[in-house]
Amino acid sequence: MAAHRQSRPWSGGEVAAREVRPPQYDPQCYLCPGNTRISGRSNPAYTGTYVFDNDHPCVGPDAPAHLAAPPWPYRNAPATGIARVVCYSPRHDVTLAELDVEGVDALLATWQEQMRELSARPEVAYVLIFENKGEAVGVSNPHPHCQIYATNFVFKYIETEFRAGERHHHETGRVLFEDVIAAERQDGRRILSEQASAIAFVPYFARYAYEVYVAPTRVHATLASLDAPERRDLATVLRDTVIRFDNLWKMPFPYVMALHQAPVRDDARGFHFHIEFHPPLRRPNLLKYLAGPEIGGGNFLSDTSPEEKAAELQAAGGPHYLTETGPA
Ligand SMILES: [Zn+2]
Ligand SMILES: [Zn+2]
């Protein structure tokens, strides 16, 4: 933490806030209902969530299975999997923050179905569900959607978290993330939202200024095992969190959202499913650049204090700022 550096002079790049609201339906959008995608396939006239196989998959079944062996000391292995897209709504112009609780709950139910289906496949070792939102993280299409990568390998952060959880469980007999939630509750300053079985907070160890974790309070290795009341609580807290993001500067708030679930085939003991938000902005038009300490040295340098940023988000509660002026 180096919060004292926050007001140093700045004359670098800025991110333009989106001023014009997009149309409810865009004939050029490959995600809108009824439109034809680049593959030639057409989207149905869907009314809720809609899932399809990515036309430009990062991992796909056609990847080369046999790779030429590289020279020592390099190693390689084929990366295979399934890549899918999940549209949150037929509406082109809304975001996750503008769905009602039923809409967010339906999205969580869709993720659960995907999780159950994909994790049952023998070749799948991990299911990564994530949303890149906003031009600041490279997404120019505002249509609300996320992606799913079901892969034959486990992603690096998950592996690290899994091992840390295992070690903690071995040393204390406790689940690490449960202890994290207990510590956040004991401090209380960084908690943003709570329901009977779900919580959202800026973690003590936040790397990004507005980093937020959203989680069920009971231990679940993955999203798939949440029952209906728990899913509803999680939907409520998740929605409340993204509304706070948008309300903060009265603009669609860019972020990378990732669901951290246990690896599919490992013994999941010690892993507690949670959702992480990594927003790239430090101020309305100011990106957090990854530079010397982060890229060059591998350590995150935060220019802000998590307590201060949590207080800003605590003051930015619902309703969504567009509720008054936007379409019903
Ligand atoms: Zn669209
Ligand atoms: Zn995590």
How much distance in Å is there from the Cα of 105 to the middle of ligand 1? 21
Taking the centre of ligand 1 as the mean of its atom positions, its distance from the CA of residue 25, in whole angstroms, is 6
Residues near ion ligand 2 (Cβ under 5 Å): 161, 260
Given this model, what pLDDT does residue 327 score?
45
- pLDDT at position 328 is 42
Distance 38 CA to ligand 1 centre (A): 14
Mean per-residue pLDDT for 196-224? 97
Tell me which of 178-187, 286-295, 314-323 is least confident.
286-295
Q: Which ligand approaches the C-alpha of residue 92 most closely?
A: 1
pLDDT at position 191 over 80: yes
How many residues in the chain? Answer: 328
pLDDT of residue 8: 61
Give yes or no for residue 6 having a pLDDT over 80: no
Ligand lying closest to the C-alpha of residue 143: 1
Residue 312 predicted with pLDDT over 90? yes
Q: Is the pLDDT of residue 82 over 50?
A: yes
**Burial class of residue 137 in the structure, from the number of CB atoms within 10 Å of its CB (0-12 exposed, 13-18 middle, 19+ buried):** middle
Residue 145 CA to ligand 2 centre (angstroms): 21
pLDDT at 15 over 70: no
- Ligand with the closest atom to the CA of 29: 1
Question: What's the pLDDT at 323?
Answer: 84
Distance 30 CA to ligand 1 centre (A): 6
Question: How does the average pLDDT of the chain come out, rounded?
Answer: 91
Closest ligand to the CA of 274: 2
Q: Rounded mean pLDDT of 294-312?
A: 93
Q: Which residue, 96, 97, 92, is CA-closest to 20?
A: 92
pLDDT digits (tens, 9 = 90+) for 35-66: 999 899 999 999 999 999 998 888 877 778 88
Lowest mean per-residue pLDDT among 143-157, 205-219, 257-271: 257-271
| Cβ 288 vs Cβ 302: under 8 Å | no
Could you tell me the distance, in angstroms and rounded to a whole number, from the CA of residue 158 to the centre of ligand 2? 7
The fraction of the chain above a pLDDT of 90, given in percent, is 76
Determine the Cα–Cα distance for residues 92 and 26; give it in Å rounded to an integer.
7
Q: Does residue 77 carry a pLDDT above 80?
A: yes
Residues 143-167 have a mean pLDDT of 95
For tokens 């991992």, the residue is 59
- Catalytic one of 92, 143, 145, 260: 145
The answer to whether 4 is a known catalytic residue is no
Residue 13: per-residue pLDDT: 57
What spacing in Å lies between the alpha carbon of 31 and ligand 1's midpoint?
5
Amino acid, single-letter form, for residue 170 = H
Q: Tell me, what's the pLDDT at 10?
A: 56
